[in-house]
Amino acid sequence: MANEKQLIRALTEPTIILDEIRSFTDETSADDDVQNPVTAVKTVKQIGGVAPAVQILSKVFTGEDITSLEIEMGRGLPTCSAKFLIMDKSVYSRSYPKDGDVMSVFIRAKDDVFKPIRNDYIITSVSISNKEGGNEDAYESMSVTGELHVPGYKAIKCFSKKGTSFKAMMQTATDLKLGFATNEVDTADEQTWICPYERPIDFIADVTNSAWKDENSFFHSCIDIYYYLNFVNVEPLFGDETEIESSMLIDLISNDYGNDNVQAKQVGSTIISNWDDISSTPFYIKKYSLFNNSASVNLNNGYKRYVSYYDALLKESQFLSDK
C-alpha cells in the first residue's frame, strides 16, 4: 500500500453548478419497449454507459452520433475534443455552437465504486467536414473542442492571500468554487501572495512554482475532471514502494445495466498492461514508448544560469551569472 505522503485526499468539495442535461425520457418514451419498467431502467442506465452523452444547446448526442471523444488533463484546465455525425441538418439552425456556448459531457461509471464524469466545457472551436457533391442526404461530421468551464479562472483580478502557499491555493480554489485535493498538510513559506491584476490561472502557476516546504520537495498543480484543484508534492510519489496496490477491475464491455450486482467485476493488482486478457478493463494500454530529451534541455538551458547568495562578511547580496 502507498504511504500516507503518496495519497492525494480531497480537503474541500467543489461547489460549481453545472448546466442541466436535458432529460432523455422525452426521446425514449415513444419506444413501446420503454413502457416496461424493467426495460426502462436498463435503457436509462445505458445513457452515458455504452457511449458518452454530450449536449450542445438543445441537441443531445449519444450512441452512433458520437464518432470520437477525448478528454485530456495536465497542467491547467482539462480539454475535450469530440466528433459528431450530423444526421439532422436542423442542428445547424437550432444547436450550432457559438461563442460562449457550453458542451456538457456525461460518462456513466460502470460501478458505484467509481465516480461518473460530468463536465461542462466552454466551446473554443467548431469545424464542419462537408463531403463533395452537395448531397443533402449525406452525413456530415462536426468537430468540437472545448475547455473545462471554471467561471473566473481566466478573468483579470486583483487580490492577495496571506499565509503559506498551501493556504493560498486552498483559498483560491474556494474562491473559484473548486474542490481542493493534496497530499500535504501545509508548506513552510508563509508570506503575502499577490495577484496584481492577473488571471487566477497565472496566479496558481506562480504560487506552485514558488511553493516551498523543504529542499527535497517540489510541487505540481492542475485542475482535474472532477473540478478539484490538485496541489501535489511530487517528491513522495517517486518513493520506493515494493507492494502493489489492489483495485477494482470492471469489465467495460459488460452490457447488463439492469442489475448492479451482476456487473462483471473483480479485485486485481493495479498494473497497466497490453495483455489482451485485460483489454476490456481500465488498465489496458495499446502501446508504450520511452523518450529522453535531457541532452536537448541541457544544451538549450545549461546546468546553471545564475546563483545568488548573501555574504555575511560584506553584509550584502552577491549575484553571479554564467551569461
- The verdict on pTM exceeding 0.85 is no
CATH of the domain at 92: 2.40.10
Residue 304 lies in a domain: yes
Q: Choose the weakest-confidence range: 62-66, 155-159, 174-178.
A: 62-66
Residue 36 lies in a domain: yes
Please say if the pLDDT value at position 323 is more than 90.
no
DSSP string, 2-16: --GGG--EEEE---P
Place of cell 499565509: 163
Residue 20 lies in a domain: no
Residue 292 lies in a domain: yes
pLDDT tier at 266, thresholds 50, 70, 90: low
Could you tell me if 83 and 128 lie in one domain?
A: yes
Q: What is the pLDDT of residues 34-68, one digit of tens each?
A: 444 444 444 455 566 677 889 998 888 888 889 99
Please say if the pLDDT value at position 94 is more than 50.
yes
Percent of the chain with pLDDT over 90: 38
Could you tell me if 130 and 46 lie in one domain?
A: yes
Could you tell me if 218 and 297 lie in one domain?
A: no
CA distance 20 to 167: 32
Say how many domains are in the chain: 3
Could you tell me if 265 and 207 lie in one domain?
A: no
Last residue of a domain, one of 148, 173, 199: 148
Could you tell me if 136 and 157 lie in one domain?
A: no
Residue 234 lies in a domain: yes
pLDDT tier at 21, thresholds 50, 70, 90: confident
**Average pLDDT over all residues of the chain:** 79
Could you tell me if 160 and 213 lie in one domain?
A: yes
Residue 71 lies in a domain: yes
Last residue of a domain, one of 217, 238, 259: 238
CATH of the domain at 170: 3.55.50
Could you tell me if 180 and 97 lie in one domain?
A: no
Residue 296 corresponds to which cell in the numbers above?
A: 536537448
Could you tell me if 224 and 262 lie in one domain?
A: no
Last residue of a domain, one of 115, 133, 148: 148
- The pLDDT, as a whole number, for residue 250 is 61
CA distance 217 to 319: 25
Phi, psi of 41 (to 5 degrees): -60, -45
Percent of the chain with pLDDT over 70: 73
Burial class (CB in 10 A: 0-12, 13-18, 19+), 281: buried
DSSP string, 112-160: TTSPPEEEEEEEEEEEEEPPTT--TTS-EEEEEEEEE--TTTTS-EEEE
Could you tell me if 37 and 63 lie in one domain?
A: yes
Domain interval for residue 133 = 25-148
Residue 31 or 63, more confident = 63
CA distance 283 to 138: 38
CA distance 125 to 191: 40
